[in-house]
Amino acid sequence: MTHRFIPNTDADRAAMLKTIGVASVQDLFRDVPASAQLTKINLPRALSEMELLNELNAMATRNANLNEHACFLGAGAYNHFVPATVPHLIFRSEFYTAYTPYQAEISQGTLQTIFEYQSLICNLTGMDAANASHYDGATATAEAAILAVNAVPGRDKIIVAPTLHPEYRATLRTYLEGQDVKIVGDEDLKLPLDAILKKHLDDKTAGVIVQNPDFLGAYHDLKSTADRVHAAGALFIVNAYPISLGLFRAPGEYGADVVVGEGQSLGNAIAFGGPYLGIFATKEKYIRRMAGRLVGQTVDTTGRRGFTLTLQAREQHIRREKATSNICTNQALNALAACVYLSTLGKSGFKQVAELCYHKAHYAAKKINALPGYRVDLKKEFFNEFVVECPAPVSKINAALESRKIIGGYDLSRDYPHMKNAMLVAVTEMNAKEQIDQLVKTLAEATSSKRKAKSRK
């Protein structure tokens, strides 16, 4: 019996081989060296759908999922509410089993949704053009650096703030590995942005990359930074958390030339880190230096509005080794999720999500700061994420939280060795007051028992 996903039967195949004019399927593989042809392969046995589902469910059960746990972990991947419209629409066959809209006439669905996504992102970021092509926040950031280096000829330096996500900084370095570009700014993780610019910003600088709110949650007023970067002739690249833009000023308003970000929070499953969505938007001036697919509005031969891939001469399939990037993907399904998400929440709902994040996070921060041994810098401006200085190692505290079905914050000592016992806590609209109160209570218990243990010694 042939496998269930293959429709043809032995009789079908026999008829086809006859038309082809060969005796057997082996005749079609004569050009594959006989010595390299496999006789067997070491894989597990085939499973029926029923057996496979049982196995997958058994595997999934061994993962603590966020339906059953309160989540205070963010650090680039956030637990936000996803309206029912999103999964319903993105799992329509017409969207998820189509490909890149090469044939525009019968791909208008994908094309118009990407155009709408581009428009929504432009409105959020205050930019003129956006694409839907990047894999995630890390790679979008790296491609923004490449844009800067190409846009400002003769300059070979990129300055990154140490508070740009550590994995984004790592990805940036890998991407620029083969090119003669220096990446500086994060050699001293403690240095504030002003001091970094003073040290590095010069006429060799092509771009400056800042995350806002930064990886540690702090929100910065970046207008004067943008002016300073522009005065030096460099591009100002802002990595923004899209939900925060429901409340805070668009980076375009304070001088960003390129806005990038992780689009996961816009309706995409948290899914152990992917697939996510790289937000990438820029000003009109730099459109032709953008990587990836762009959709443009035009008309058909009868004058009707229609959409098509455009400005393709930038891309790898035409410009080959001179292309702006090797990117071929457009992250269309994730962009569609973002598009449906932003449309469903709309003007008031999206703002409300941002406000809920803000108020709940501030409530949590104040409560935690009031606990003995814990400290949060409440003078710093932040959105929904903040650093908690803890009286014990974060791993120990998180273990205590785990026993109460709470997923605690990110252990900052992993990436910032000077931040011992520092936990990055994220709060979203998904955290009801009772969850926050439970978190605060468990934090208190975790350390009071610890203090008791200490005093017994």
Partner 1 sequence: MSGNKTINYASDRKYSETHEWVKMEGELAVVGISDYAQDALGDVVFVELPKVGATVSAGAQFGVVESVKAASDIFSPISGTVAAVNEKLSSAPETLNQDSLSAGWIAKIKPSNPAEMNKLMDAATYQKKIEAGEIH
Partner 2 sequence: MTIVANKPEPIIFELGSKGREGAALPDCDVPTTKLPNHLIRDELNLPEVAEVDVVRHFTRLSQKNYCVDLGIYPLGSCTMKYNPKINEVAVNIPGFARIHPYQNHDTAQGALQMLYELQKMLGEISGLPGVTLQPAAGAQGELTGVLVIRAYHLARGDTKRKKVLVPDSAHGTNPATSSMSGYTVVPVKSDARGNIDLAELKKIADKETVCLMLTNPNTLGLFEENVQEACKVIHDVGALVYGDGANLNAIVGIARPGDLGFDVMHTNLHKTFSVPHGGGGPGAGPVMVRKDLAQFLPGPIAVKRGNKYAMEMPKKTIGRVKSFFGNFLALVRAYTYIRSYGKEHLREIAENAVINANYLLARLKGTYYAPFANRACKHEFVLDGTPFKTKYGVNTLDIAKRIQDYGFYPPTIYFPLIVPECLMIEPTETQSKESLDEFADALLKIAQEAETDAQLLHDAPHDAPVTRLDEVRAAREPVLCYRD
Q: Would you count residue 285 as binding partner 1 (CB under 8 A)?
A: no
CA neighbor of 142 nearest in space, from 162, 167, 171, 166 = 171
CB contact at 8 A, 266 and 180: no
Instruction: Choose, by CB under 8 A, the member of 47, 56, 313, 378 that binds partner 1.
Output: 313
Q: Would you count residue 312 as binding partner 1 (CB under 8 A)?
A: yes
What angle separates helix 193-200 from helix 223-231, to the nearest 10 degrees? 0
Contacts (Cβ under 8 Å, ≥6 apart) of 446: 392, 396, 397, 400, 401
Total residues contacting partner 2 (rule CB under 8 A)? 206
Residues in 178-207 that interact with partner 2 by CB under 8 A:
178-180
The window from 222-230, 262-270, 316-324, 399-407 that contacts partner 1 (CB under 8 A) reads 316-324
The window from 21-29, 195-203, 224-232, 446-454 that contacts partner 2 (CB under 8 A) reads 21-29
CB contact at 8 A, 291 and 312: no
Instruction: Choose, by CB under 8 A, the member of 4, 190, 322, 456 that binds partner 1.
Output: 322
Question: From the centroid of its chain, how far is CA 371?
Answer: 33
Give the Cα separation of 168 and 176 in Å (integer). 12
Q: Would you count residue 224 as binding partner 1 (CB under 8 A)?
A: no
The window from 75-83, 274-282, 318-326, 350-358 that contacts partner 1 (CB under 8 A) reads 318-326
Residues in 292-311 that interact with partner 1 by CB under 8 A:
311
Residues in 384-423 that interact with partner 2 by CB under 8 A:
398-399, 402, 407, 410
Give the Cα separation of 217 and 220 in Å (integer). 10
Q: Which does 227 bind (CB under 5 to 8 A by kind): partner 2, partner 1, none?
A: none
Residue listed under structure tokens 């972990």: 73
Give the Cα separation of 196 and 160 in Å (integer). 9
Residues in 283-302 that interact with partner 2 by CB under 8 A:
287, 293-302
Q: Would you count residue 30 as binding partner 1 (CB under 8 A)?
A: no
Instruction: Choose, by CB under 8 A, the member of 92, 182, 223, 319 that binds partner 1.
Output: 319
Instruction: Choose, by CB under 8 A, the member of 288, 366, 414, 420 that binds partner 1.
Output: 288
Give the Cα separation of 130 and 112 in Å (integer). 14
Q: Which does 65 bind (CB under 5 to 8 A by kind): partner 2, partner 1, none?
A: partner 2
Instruction: Choose, by CB under 8 A, the member of 70, 129, 145, 208 that binds partner 2.
Output: 129
CB contact at 8 A, 78 and 431: no
Give the Cα separation of 362 and 249 in Å (integer). 19
CB contact at 8 A, 247 and 122: no
The window from 125-133, 188-196, 228-236, 369-377 that contacts partner 2 (CB under 8 A) reads 125-133
Q: Would you count residue 347 as binding partner 1 (CB under 8 A)?
A: no
Give the Cα separation of 72 and 439 in Å (integer). 9
Residue listed under structure tokens 């949704």: 113
Q: Which does 3 bind (CB under 5 to 8 A by kind): partner 2, partner 1, none?
A: partner 2
Which positions lie near partner 1, rule CB under 8 A?
A: 288, 311-314, 318-319, 322
